Amino acid sequence: MDKFTRNYVDGFMAELIAKNPGETEFHQAVREVVESVAPYVTANPYLMDLKILERMVEPERVIMFRVPWMDDRGEIHINKGYRVQMNSSIGPYKGGIRFHSSVNLSIMKFLAFEQTFKNSLTTLPMGGAKGGSDFSPRGKSDAEVMRFCQSFMTELQRHIGPDTDVPAGDIGVGGREVGFLFGQYKRLRDEFTGTLTGKGQNWGGSLMRPEATGYGACYFAQEMLATRGKSFEGQTVVISGAGNVAQYAAEKATALGAKVVTLSDSDGFIYDPDGISVEKLGYVKKLKNVIRGRIKEYVKEYPSAQYFEHQRPWGISCDIAMPCATQNEIDADDARKLVDNGCYCVAEGANMPTTPEAIAIFQNAKLLYSPGKASNAGGVATSGLEMSQNSMRLKWTAEEVDEKLHGIMSDIHSACVKYGTEEDGYVNYVKGANIAGFIKVANSMVEQGLV
C-alpha cells in the first residue's frame, strides 16, 4: 500500500472510531474492508470526492426499541430490539435476526455492514441489514419464546415488508422463531407475503434454505481445495458450533468423503476420533433442534468421544477447519495451533469468526482462507431464491435450488480469484471478496446520486 493510501486508511479509521466510540466489532469489520478497498478508492478519486466509503459506514437507518414480555411465572422482562438498515443501493434490505445475550449495537452494525458486501457478492438484488435482541432463547419454554417473538415483531413490522426489508434467521433464530415472527407479522399487517425467509415448507419456505449456509460453505471450500488439486475426500475436518450452519456443514463435508471430528457450543466441544457419521449427526440434530440440549450429551450417547469443557476445538489436528459458531472464535493462538498441526484450509461458516491477528497468521502461512462474507453467502443467496419463489408464487424442487446455490458459490469463488489473486499467485480471498462486493455497491450509490 502506498503512503497516500496508508494515510487515507488511517485517517478514515480514526474518524470512524471517534464517531462510533466503543463499537469494537464494527471497527474491526470496517477496518478489514477499508484495508482491502482503499487502493481501489484512491485510484478512483471520484469515489473519495463523493465520500462513498464514508456513506457506506453510516447506516441508512437504525431502529432501536423496547421488547417487553412476560415469562411463564408472570414475571416481566425488558429486552432491547434492533434493526440496522445499512445499505439499500442494490435491493431491499436483507439480513438475519440474532437472539443472543451478547447482542449490542456494535455487533448489529458489524453484521449489517458485512451483510452489504456478502449480498452484493451473491449477484442477487439485496441490500444489507441485520437485527436482533439481547434475548436468549436458551432455557426458555416454547410459550416464552413465542411471546417474546410476538412482542419483538409488534414493533419491527412497522419497518419491514417484501419490498422494503426482508429479515431471516441467525444465531438463536431458527425455524421455530421464524414461524412465531411470521405469524405475528401476518396478523398485524393482514398480508401473506415473503417478508421473512427461512419460512416453513408449508407456508412459503424454500427447499434447501435450512441446509444452504452449511452446504454453501462446503461448496466454496471445494472450489478452494480444487485450486490445489485437492478435495474433501479423506480429509479430517474440525467444525465449531452445533447449530444450523455447523450441522449442515458437517453433513455435506461427510457426504463429500471427509471425516468430521468435532462440534461445539458455548460450553465446550466434543471430539470424536471415529468421525461424526450420518447416524451420529442425526442424533445431534435431534439433540439441538428438538430436545434443545447441550453438545456434551453426545459423549453419553457415544462414549468413545471426549468432551472438553470451556475449550474450543482448534487444538485438534485437522486438514480443514470450518468455524461455524460466532465472531472472534479463532484468535492468534488458535491460528498458530491450526497451522502447526497441518491445517491448510479454513472456510468460515460463521460471520467474522477469525480475529485480524489470526487472519494474518493464516495468510502469511499461505493457507486457503475464506472470509465468511464469501463462504457463508449461500444462506442469504438461498433466502434470495426464496424471495423469488414467493414473488412468482411457485416452489422450485430441492435439486433446482441446490443447483442454483452451487452455481452462486462457484461464481463468488471466481469473483474472489479475479480480485484477490496476488503477484505470487496466492489468492487473498479477503481482498477478493471485499473488492468484488464493494465495486457493485459503490457504483450503484454513485448512479443513484447523493441519498
Pick the stretch among 20-28, 55-63, 169-177, 274-282 that binds ligand NDP (CB under 6 A). 169-177
Contact present, 131 and 108 (Cβ < 8 Å): yes
Q: How many residues form the binding site for ligand NDP (CB under 6 A)?
A: 25
Give yes or no for residue 116 binding ligand NDP (CB under 6 A). Answer: no
In 206-252, beta strands by DSSP E: 236-239
As measured in angstroms, the least distance from the Cβ of 171 to ligand NDP is 4
Cα(124)–Cα(130) distance, integer angstroms = 17
Give yes or no for residue 105 binding ligand NDP (CB under 6 A). Answer: no
Pick the stretch among 149-157, 324-332, 391-399, 411-419 that binds ligand NDP (CB under 6 A). 324-332
As measured in angstroms, the least distance from the Cβ of 112 to ligand NDP is 12
Q: Residue 95 is placed in which grid cell?
A: 439480513
Q: Which one of residues 81, 127, 128, 174 is an interface residue with ligand NDP (CB under 6 A)?
A: 174
Q: Which residue is nearest to ligand NDP (CB)?
A: 243
Give yes or no for residue 266 binding ligand NDP (CB under 6 A). Answer: yes
Q: Which one of residues 34, 181, 324, 412 is an interface residue with ligand NDP (CB under 6 A)?
A: 324
Q: Residue 327 is placed in which grid cell?
A: 465472531
- Catalytic annotation on 296? no
Give yes or no for residue 213 binding ligand NDP (CB under 6 A). Answer: yes
Distances from the Cα of 336 to the Cα of 87, 102, 404, angstroms: 36, 27, 36
As measured in angstroms, the least distance from the Cβ of 433 to ligand NDP is 14
H or E element at residue 94 = strand 93-99
As measured in angstroms, the least distance from the Cβ of 45 to ligand NDP is 35
Cα(391)–Cα(403) distance, integer angstroms = 20
Distances from the Cα of 101 to the Cα of 104, 171, 427, angstroms: 9, 11, 36
Q: Residue 135 is placed in which grid cell?
A: 434475548
Beta carbon nearer to ligand NDP, 41 or 380 = 380
Q: Residue 203 is placed in which grid cell?
A: 407456508
Distances from the Cα of 23 to the Cα of 100, 105, 241, 328, angstroms: 17, 8, 25, 14
Q: Which one of residues 122, 326, 390, 428 is an interface residue with ligand NDP (CB under 6 A)?
A: 326
Beta carbon nearer to ligand NDP, 87 or 383 = 383
Q: Which residue has the cell 477447519?
A: 321
Interacting residue ranges for ligand NDP, rule: CB under 6 A:
100, 102, 169-172, 174, 213, 241-246, 265-267, 324-326, 349-351, 376, 379
